[in-house]
Amino acid sequence: MENNGIIRLGDENFDFPIIEGSEGEKAIDLRTLRGKTGFIAFDEGYGNTGSCESGITFINGEQGILRHRGYPIEQLAENSNFLESAYLIMYGELPNEVSLRAFERNILSNGTLDSNMQPLFEGFPLCAHPMAILSALVSSLSTYHPEYATNNRKVDLGHFDAASAILMSKVRSIAAMTYRMKLGLPMVKSDDTKSYTEDFLSMLLSKPEIPFEDTCGAANALDLFFLLHADHEQNCSTSTVRMVASSGANLFASISAGISALWGPSHGGANMAVIEMLESIHASGDDGSRFVEAAKSGQAKLMGFGHRVYKNYDPRAKILGKSAVSVLDKIGLQDPLLDIARRLERAALEDDYFISRKLYPNVDFYSGIILKAIGIPVEFFTVMFAIGRIPGWMANWKEISENPKSRIHRPRQIYTGSNERNFVKLEKRAQ
């Protein structure tokens, strides 16, 4: 706490404490605002509202900084992998070798789905969206592991290690089985001798009698994709997880809610929109030049540019941009979509129109290209995002559950409806 901040309402001044974070972020503590003044703060979309104190992820959008537990994303992307970074995000420190190996074994050994889940997959129509299936079946995991989903915060927190390993492992199996169900392919069992992403790609892309072989570094590229999506502070889905967790809901229910929030096209569906945009540009015979001019005149919308938080280059986009080139080179695929993407990127970095509006490429700009190159269908892009974001969601569930002072989240509102009125019986209402 620092000196108090003063808010003047009418002729009266009110003092409120100022909170300062470890990176210098400052906030006026308004938890007593309504009690002191009778007013509430109105901030639609919570763009200027701190909903919690958190020690997981720090973002400075103006400077393009992203750090997990103090470690820059650039260093994690270069030196770590998804599971090690997941451990860091969930437990607060980098693991030693013994801890990391135990963490990996616990996750990799939990990949097999209960045989009783098979009819659940068969009960969904083939047209069912994979995010709907993922959300439903993640929630259903609580019924197969009721000892870890008691909705008693203290009990569930005591089982966090086991429950989190089940979630991180089985979410891949659910995604893979959903994909194979849609194609009428048999399920491929999880193989705990493979790495996290190798096993997932094998479950997902193996053909009957032809096991998947990674000849182009797809597993490494997907592992990097997961790492770069592992957490991103208080976004829509993470805030949803924290709100559900604040009620005392178990880990499985809270993560299922986060998946549903991520499903929205303004959040997790943005990378799908990028591919659709690039395909549309290519189909029109444009190399991207005409589209750039159309965007500048307001006649076309650029997808994958700009960010709610970043007012600088998204640091994850820089990393994924290099990975996209590497993956396509190894595959030997000369994808015209990447050429178009590069032209759009150059325009964003060199054209005053985009620079003045801070419309830099974001992580969605390149993630769709990488997923498409690996062979993952567009409708499964958001599922990939969800798999990557699981560690961050679970870390936030853990953080709020460990806080003895945490209260159920209950935002206020400004009511704009009708004033009090008397009930009119049906026969007397205007026809």
DSSP 9-51: ETTEEEEEEEEE-TTS-EEE--TTHHHHHS-----GGGTT---
pLDDT value of residue 69: 98
pLDDT value of residue 271: 83
- Domain boundary (219, 242, 264) is at 264
* Residues known to be catalytic: 307, 364
pLDDT of 328 higher than 80: no
Question: What's the CA gap between 193 and 215, in Å, rounded?
Answer: 18
Judge whether 99 lies within some domain. yes
- Domain boundary (232, 264, 296) is at 264
- Domain boundary (237, 264, 291) is at 264
Q: Are residues 175 and 115 in the same domain?
A: yes
Q: Are residues 167 and 184 in the same domain?
A: yes
The CATH code of the domain that includes 235 is 1.10.580.10
The CATH code of the domain that includes 274 is 1.10.230.10
Judge whether 223 lies within some domain. yes
pLDDT of 373 higher than 70: yes
Q: Sorting pLDDT into bands at 50, 70 and 90, what band is 413?
A: very high
AA identity, residue 407: R
Q: How many domains does the chain have?
A: 3
For residue range 11-46, what is the model confidence (pLDDT) as tens digits? 999 999 999 999 988 999 999 999 999 998 999 988
pLDDT value of residue 333: 66
Q: Are residues 221 and 92 in the same domain?
A: yes
pLDDT of 431 higher than 90: no
Judge whether 242 lies within some domain. yes
Question: What's the CA gap between 389 and 235, in Å, rounded?
Answer: 11
Token pair belonging to 375: 């062979």
Judge whether 211 lies within some domain. yes
pLDDT value of residue 232: 96
Mean predicted confidence (pLDDT) in 316-334: 80
Handedness of CA 251, 235, 316, 19 (dihedral sign): negative
Q: Sorting pLDDT into bands at 50, 70 and 90, what band is 354?
A: confident
- Which is more confident, 55 or 268? 55
- Residue written as tokens 């959903």? 178
Q: Are residues 256 and 275 in the same domain?
A: no
Question: What's the CA gap between 156 and 280, in Å, rounded?
Answer: 48
Q: Are residues 24 and 117 in the same domain?
A: no
Judge whether 411 lies within some domain. no
- Which is more confident, 313 or 267? 267
Question: What's the CA gap between 394 and 413, in Å, rounded?
Answer: 28
Domain around 360: 270-374
Q: Are residues 160 and 218 in the same domain?
A: yes
Provide the 3-class DSSP secondary structure of residue 168: helix
pLDDT of 361 higher than 90: no
Q: Are residues 182 and 300 in the same domain?
A: no
Q: Are residues 128 and 239 in the same domain?
A: yes
The CATH code of the domain that includes 20 is 2.20.28
Q: Are residues 41 and 111 in the same domain?
A: no
Q: Which helix (H) or strand (E) holds 96?
A: none
Q: Are residues 113 and 220 in the same domain?
A: yes
- Residue written as tokens 């008691």? 150
Q: Are residues 46 and 88 in the same domain?
A: no
pLDDT value of residue 1: 42
Judge whether 62 lies within some domain. yes
Judge whether 19 lies within some domain. yes
Judge whether 75 lies within some domain. no
Share of the chain above pLDDT 70, in %: 99
pLDDT of 2 higher than 60: no
Q: Are residues 97 and 245 in the same domain?
A: yes
